[in-house]
């Protein structure tokens, strides 16, 4: 009536208003039988004279679905987005087939379809980030930050050296194995590796290096990281296409920080129940130390 009452004749509007007053009076007096009769009368009047203003069932469903879609798009754009891990470059932290949530607000608010950010925050060493691949902006990559703007970094014989100091790096088992699938193919290889523990300010994380015929140490010359950029590497150090090959990542190209594995499935063990809701961050030493166990396909 507030929105559409002006479209009714005065006599009809008065009749509807009186019916509403009568219904309210019956409710106050707790005369529920009388209230039921007044309600039926009011419904008949509304159907007859204001039926055009009532939403259809289809419209109500459409509006509900539209609101849900809008909220989902806003969350995906500004808060969280899901990604699937396609390769083994982040083993043992992330396996092929892991599905993760990425916090898109961790390093600032990015305007959609642009690289402009507000409320910017700089990534820290040890963060696992998703970013737009600098050499092909249609692709997203996930790697670990090993140096930030202003740092000088080099990699020598598998050891990361930041500002002249080797990152704490010690062996946690002698030999491990992991299955490696060539991206986009069904072919799997079994690689032998050695697992190491690296320590940054916020905690520890594991990395692996190949041994045997696949071992190929990729070094990089000392370089100073420009402000507003980061140097990234995969935790699978000998099987990762990262900043050693194509350079640093502009912070404006970072989509967010990897938060949690919410689903994991793949060869050889199907659904990996034990990986569900695993947090992706540097942990205490006790949480990550111990033999690396990855099944072969």
Q: What is the pLDDT of residues 35-92, one digit of tens each?
A: 998 899 989 988 888 887 777 778 778 888 888 888 877 777 677 889 999 888 999 9
Cβ–Cβ under 8 Å, residues 294 and 92 = yes
Given the residues 87, 104, 143, 243, the one annotated as active site? 143
Q: Could you name the CATH architecture of 80-288?
A: Ribbon (2.10)
How much is the pLDDT for 115? 65
Give the separation between CA 182 and CA 93, rounded to whole angstroms. Answer: 18
Q: What is the pLDDT of residues 179-233, one digit of tens each?
A: 776 666 667 778 888 899 999 988 899 999 988 776 778 888 999 999 999 999 9
Give the separation between CA 145 and CA 126, rounded to whole angstroms. Answer: 5
Give the separation between CA 89 and CA 87, rounded to whole angstroms. Answer: 6
Q: Is 89 a catalytic residue?
A: yes
Given the residues 89, 240, 243, 264, the one annotated as active site? 89
Global pTM value? 0.74
Cβ–Cβ under 8 Å, residues 230 and 68 = no
Q: What is the pLDDT of residues 87-141, one digit of tens each?
A: 889 999 998 899 999 998 888 777 666 666 677 788 999 999 999 999 999 999 9
Where along the chain do its domains lie? 5-72, 80-288
Residue 283 gets which letter from DSSP? B
How much is the pLDDT for 295? 47
Rounded to 10 deg, the angle between the 10-28 and 32-49 helix axes is 160
């Amino acid at each position: 009536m507030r929105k559409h009452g002006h479209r009714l004749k005065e006599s009809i509007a008065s009749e509807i208003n009186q019916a509403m007053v009568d219904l309210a009076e019956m409710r106050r007096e707790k005369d529920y039988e009388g209230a039921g009769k007044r309600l039926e009368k009011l419904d008949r009047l509304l159907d007859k004279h204001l039926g055009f203003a009532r939403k259809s069932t289809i419209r109500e469903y459409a509006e509900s679905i539209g609101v849900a879609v809008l909220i989902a798009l806003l969350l995906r754009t500004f808060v969280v987005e899901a990604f699937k891990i396609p390769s083994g470059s982040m083993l043992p932290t992330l396996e092929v087939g892991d599905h993760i949530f990425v916090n898109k607000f961790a390093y600032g608010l990015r305007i959609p379809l642009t690289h402009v950010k507000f409320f910017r925050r700089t990534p820290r060493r040890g963060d696992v980030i998703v970013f737009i691949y600098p050499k092909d902006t249609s692709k997203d990559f996930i790697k670990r930050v090993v140096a930030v703007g202003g740092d000088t970094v080099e990699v020598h014989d598998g050891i990361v050296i930041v500002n002249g100091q080797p990152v704490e790096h010690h062996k946690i088992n002698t030999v491990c194995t992991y299955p490696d699938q060539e991206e986009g193919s069904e072919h799997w290889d079994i690689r032998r590796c050695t697992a190491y523990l690296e320590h940054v300010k916020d905690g520890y994380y594991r990395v692996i290096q190949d041994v045997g015929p696949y071992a190929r140490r990729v070094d990089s010359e000392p370089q100073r990281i420009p402000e507003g950029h980061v140097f990234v590497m995969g935790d699978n150090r000998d099987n990762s296409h990262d900043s050693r090959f194509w350079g640093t990542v502009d912070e404006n190209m970072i989509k967010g920080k990897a938060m949690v594995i919410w689903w994991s499935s793949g060869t050889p063990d199907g659904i990996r129940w034990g990986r569900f809701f695993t947090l992706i961050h540097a942990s205490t030493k006790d949480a990550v130390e111990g033999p690396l166990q990855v099944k072969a396909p």
